[in-house]
C-alpha cells in the first residue's frame, strides 16, 4: 500500500518536471550555417606560362575527419584534440572546395597553358597532387586558422617529380566568429599558392617543359 502511494506521487512529479524542461528548452532549433572558400584573383600573373602544357589539378587527399563537411577546431595549439562544430558546415567536402579554388587560382595566374581537373577527361602534361593535412581553426587567443598541405608537381609522361613541398600557414583571424575564420582560410590558401608559384618559377626551365611542338 505504501509503495503504491509513493509511486502515485512520483509519477506526476516526473511528468510535471518533463513539462517544465520542455518549456525551458523549447523554441526554434539552432540553424545550420554553410560556407565556401572564395580566393581573390592573383595580384600578378605570368606573361608566359611556366608550364608549356596542360596542368591537371587532382582532388586533395585528407584524413577521414578533415574531409568531412563540419568545420573543425581546437581550443589551443597545445592540445591534440580536434573537435567538430555542430551547426557550421562547408557547402561541400573541403577537399572538393580546395581543388576547385586551386584550379581557378592557378588558371588565373597563367601558370600553365591550360589548367584542368580530372572530370574533363583530357590528356595532361603535368599533375598537381595535394595532401591536405590540417584545416583547423584555433579558438585560443589570438584566434587563427592553420592550413597545412603537401603539394606535389610531377611530369605525367616522364613520371618525374618536379616539386614536392609541404606548406604550413597560420593565418590570424580578425575576430572569433566563423566569418572571420573563413576570411582567414582564404588568406591562408592564397598564401600557400603564392609560395607554390614562387617555388615553381625557381625550377630550371629544362625540368619544367615537357610539351613538344
The per-residue pLDDT for range 69-90, each reduced to its tens digit, is 999 999 999 999 999 999 999 9
Yes or no: say if 169 and 148 are a contact pair by the CB < 8 Å rule.
Answer: yes
| pLDDT tens-digit series, residues 178-193 | 999 999 999 999 999 9
Our measurement of the distance from residue 114's CA atom to the centroid of its chain's CA atoms, rounded to an integer in Å, reads 24
Residue 23: all three cell numbers together:
518549456
**What does pTM read for this prediction?**
0.83
pLDDT tens string 135-168: 999 999 999 999 999 999 999 998 999 999 999 9
Helix, strand, coil % (nearest 5) of the chain?
35, 30, 35
In tens, the pLDDT along 94-116 reads 999 999 999 999 999 999 999 99
The domains of the chain, with CATH numbers, are: 37-208 (3.40.50.10610)
Element (H, E) at 146: strand 144-155
Amino acid at each position: 500500500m505504501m509503495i503504491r502511494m509513493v509511486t502515485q506521487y512520483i509519477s506526476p512529479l516526473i511528468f510535471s518536471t518533463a513539462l517544465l524542461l520542455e518549456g525551458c528548452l523549447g523554441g526554434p532549433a539552432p540553424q545550420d550555417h554553410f560556407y565556401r572558400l572564395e580566393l581573390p584573383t592573383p595580384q600578378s600573373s605570368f606573361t608566359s606560362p611556366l608550364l608549356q602544357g596542360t596542368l591537371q589539378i587532382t582532388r586533395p587527399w585528407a584524413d577521414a575527419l578533415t574531409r568531412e563537411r563540419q568545420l573543425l577546431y581546437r581550443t589551443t595549439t597545445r592540445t591534440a584534440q580536434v573537435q567538430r562544430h555542430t551547426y557550421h558546415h562547408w557547402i561541400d567536402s573541403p577537399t572538393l572546395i580546395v581543388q576547385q579554388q586551386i584550379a581557378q587560382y592557378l588558371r588565373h595566374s597563367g601558370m600553365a597553358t591550360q589548367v584542368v581537373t580530372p572530370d574533363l577527361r583530357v590528356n595532361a602534361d603535368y599533375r598537381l597532387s595535394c595532401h591536405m593535412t590540417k584545416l583547423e581553426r584555433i579558438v585560443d587567443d589570438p584566434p587563427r586558422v592553420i592550413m597545412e598541405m603537401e603539394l606535389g608537381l610531377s611530369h605525367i609522361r616522364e613520371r618525374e617529380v618536379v616539386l614536392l613541398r609541404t606548406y604550413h600557414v597560420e593565418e590570424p583571424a580578425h575576430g572569433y566568429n566563423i566569418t572571420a575564420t573563413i576570411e582567414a582560410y582564404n588568406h591562408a590558401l592564397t598564401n600557400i599558392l603564392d609560395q607554390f608559384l614562387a617555388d615553381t618559377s625557381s625550377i630550371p626551365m629544362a625540368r619544367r617543359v615537357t610539351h613538344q611542338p
